[in-house]
């Protein structure tokens, strides 16, 4: 049986694909956010967004879950969500392209 990290990895990849997005072009950042969400899920049974988490430790039903309500607006405005987990493909490419 897959652990919470593996389940969440697949879950966020599916969400990204369904919306024509990609995960962070910075693998360490993506792993950190996915791991924190998995730990929150193990603790309270919800994919609590670690970047918008208001309480320590997470409180079931009191925190924003991922994807949060504003994620698509953030991506439309900035090219990535507040956690920098989900990116538009163009913004991800811009972030990893060498500066000219």
**Domains along the chain with CATH numbers:** 4-92 (3.90.460.10)
Percent of all residues in the chain with a pLDDT value above 90, rounded to a whole number: 77
Nearest one of 62, 83, 63 to 74, comparing CA atoms: 83
> pLDDT confidence of 36, banded at 50, 70, 90?
very high
Please name the residue ranges forming H helices in 19-99: 27-44, 71-78, 89-96
Res. 53: pLDDT tops 90: no
**What's the average model confidence in pLDDT over 33-59?**
90
d(CA 90, CA 67): 20
Q: What is the pTM of this model?
A: 0.91
């Amino acid at each position: 049986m897959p652990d919470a990290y593996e389940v969440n990895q697949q879950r966020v990849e599916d969400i990204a694909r369904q919306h024509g997005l990609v995960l962070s072009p910075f693998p360490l950042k993506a792993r950190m956010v996915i791991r924190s969400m998995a730990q929150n899920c193990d603790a309270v049974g919800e994919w609590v967004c670690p970047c918008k988490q208001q309480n320590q430790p997470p409180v079931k039903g009191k925190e924003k879950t991922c994807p949060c309500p504003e994620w698509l607006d953030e991506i439309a405005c900035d090219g990535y969500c507040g956690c920098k987990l989900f990116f538009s493909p163009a913004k991800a490419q811009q972030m990893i392209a060498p500066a000219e």
